[in-house]
Structure 1
């Protein structure tokens, strides 16, 4: 018996505000569905963040519906949970996945935490924030007890685990029950395939490049999904890489060689099927206007986006002093400033709020604030 495991497809995401990038995510999802059917799997598991928003666009909904119908026609059932992007951050919110129950989608939810596929026990629940850690741990204990009655079992979660995340996580590795056969994880966009307990713990990663920080892992492990075979004593996991619609190119050049280097880039990309996205670092810049003009003149018609970074001679000296490997990003700086509170809930709340506000998701930010204060202070009043 084998199944496909994917996660973090983020249908509807319009990266850099470009509709072309939104269509790229749809194209990759369609490729994945076609490849899953080719592999003749028994079933599919999607571990959350199917959509990028709790209110997906009509095109995002239609893209998933088409994929779901393809799977249904191939007699391949699909089990899914909701990730943090799939539902609004307020109590009682319903993820868009429920719209597709009549099309055959089997939603793993707080009401229906588990299913059986032949002799395989499939269980899980949607994303829980760190402020819900007690509920999360209690549910894991309950599912672990149920899994003990089955030889083959799959735990489906959309959570961060401390072993694989830096600061933002909801579970420590020791809090994850160790008696499942396979751990179908979502949330982390990089590919992880790890031994855990008696089985395998896998984050298949996002299906497309959701952030440019994912590029290193993408170049190492690709983007796609996994095929899991449960017939052996320990599950075997095969990585299936999917070709992305367009290329991301990183290039560092010196301002003195700008003309010739830009010419080489133009010659390289002129025959690409789709316009690439270029991250361009230019050292020793003495005239940003001159650099901008040349980049726009030579590359504008051949690229979807050029993201230039200009480094002047003075800035270069500063860069030599800063240890970039250990430099703190905004989330890490925020967390370090909140250490004095000694409260993981406050740190998680602040980082989640920053993430929403940085994307202009003001309504979701307000909902997060309301939920946090309702849970935090109502709990404190009960204790008093």
Structure 2
């Protein structure tokens, strides 16, 4: 049995500010959720904390976001008197690459309480941490995590050989346990069946943003995000506390409510006045619910159907209503209008492939270079984030040249 009380959370995405029309509200919400998670750990008097990746949203974070996280982690350590390596963090995909990780912003010589695990294991080096009778190892995010996991299995087994309560922390989708998002390639997932073969007592899986019921043996926890990553996400949102090997989910309060409202004619043809009336009633009902709860909220309003009037004029009027309804306690209304006119034929549009799908199609003849292709793509993204011109959003020639040469070399291999 485990004497330590362990706090677990993941996917805090501090710095996220999407969608842009409510960017500051969203940035505040992710900070607020992080603080409430720290509050929960303090109240529960945990002995150590595990974060399973995506601590930050690197693409949008500010210096203030990194300072905020440092102060909150320091508050946790001071309140509980935590010792060295008592906060364990794994790098997620939104934290950046191993070479340019946002986690470096919260690491400093005096922060001996913080330990980042997982990237050394990806490089083939055994890495683990022992806290009393608990042994922890990890794998950081990798786009080809399934293959990396197979290579790392002997390292994981060696890292956990110290015994005690054995913990593996990952930032990956778990096939066979979590609903895998559409378009996610199998090489970016780890199979539950593979985890079951490991000598491990607890697996903490970050990356999936929803709460998933714990898997019993080995115990696999999916904490989910601490705040809605997209406005369509639904809770619960919270953290885990593990005591004597048993997990308990603790929900955290949110800065504001997020509600997904839908007005639909369900295929029937309706005049514009019907849509306007239903939208007004829907928003008024949400306003009253917020008042009853004593909360503020953001409404994501989806309007669908067919109208006998001008669809563009209807959308213009609905936008005006959305703007006028954004008064306390409704902070903002995000309108998604998908109303078409009667008799208008929708032209089916081809789906736009993702960057990963394009690369996979181009380089499919040479599976052996796909891992390098994915790594190169990530390097380009990181280079753009760090060094792209603020005016043109592209790299200067001296920084771009090495990528061009590498892409040409890979394409020449495909053409041979």
State the TM-score bracket (shorter-chain normalisation): 0.7 to 0.9
**What secondary structure is seen at the aligned counterpart in 2 of 1:279?**
strand
| Counterparts in 2 of 1:302 and 1:296: CA distance versus 1, 3 Å | farther
Structure-2 residue corresponding to 1:106: 115
The answer to whether the aligner puts 1:33 opposite 2:47 as a matched pair is no
Q: Larger deviation: 297-306 or 117-126? A: 297-306
| Counterparts in 2 of 1:143 and 1:226: CA distance versus 1, 3 Å | same
1:375 Cα shift? Answer: 10
**What secondary structure is seen at the aligned counterpart in 2 of 1:10?**
coil
Distance (whole Å) between structure 1 residues aligned to residue 343 and residue 233 of structure 2: 25
Distance (whole Å) between structure 2 residues aligned to residue 192 and residue 260 of structure 1: 34
Tell me, yes or no, if the aligned pair for 2:232 and 2:260 is still in contact at 8 Å.
no
Structure-2 residue corresponding to 1:312: 339
Structure-2 residue corresponding to 1:277: 298
Structure-1 residue corresponding to 2:252: 242
**Gap regions ≥5 residues in structure 2:** 264-273, 389-393
Structure-1 residue corresponding to 2:188: 170
1:135 Cα shift? Answer: 4.2
Number of residues paired by the alignment? Answer: 361
Q: Which one has the largest radius of gyration?
A: 2
| Counterparts in 2 of 1:299 and 1:93: CA distance versus 1, 3 Å | closer
Q: Larger deviation: 75-84 or 142-151? A: 142-151
| Counterparts in 2 of 1:99 and 1:310: CA distance versus 1, 3 Å | same
- How is 1:338-353 mapped onto 2 (pairs within 5 angstroms)? 338=361, 341=364, 343=367
Structure-1 residue corresponding to 2:136: 122
Tell me, yes or no, if the aligned pair for 2:15 and 2:60 is still in contact at 8 Å.
no
| Counterparts in 2 of 1:213 and 1:81: CA distance versus 1, 3 Å | same
Task: From the two aligned structures, give the one with the greater strand fraction.
Answer: 2
Task: From the two aligned structures, give the one with the greater helix fraction.
Answer: 1
Structure-1 residue corresponding to 2:166: 153
1:270 Cα shift? Answer: 5.4
Structure-2 residue corresponding to 1:189: 209
The answer to whether the aligner puts 1:72 opposite 2:77 as a matched pair is yes
Distance (whole Å) between structure 1 residues aligned to residue 30 and residue 340 of structure 2: 39
**What secondary structure is seen at the aligned counterpart in 1 of 2:285?**
helix
Let me know the Cα RMSD of the aligned residues.
Answer: 4.3
Distance (whole Å) between structure 2 residues aligned to residue 334 and residue 315 of structure 1: 36
1:308 Cα shift? Answer: 1.7
Structure-1 residue corresponding to 2:50: 45
Tell me, yes or no, if the aligned pair for 2:16 and 2:60 is still in contact at 8 Å.
no
- How is 1:348-359 mapped onto 2 (pairs within 5 angstroms)? none
**Gap regions ≥5 residues in structure 1:** none
Question: So what's the TM-score if we normalise by structure 2?
Answer: 0.71
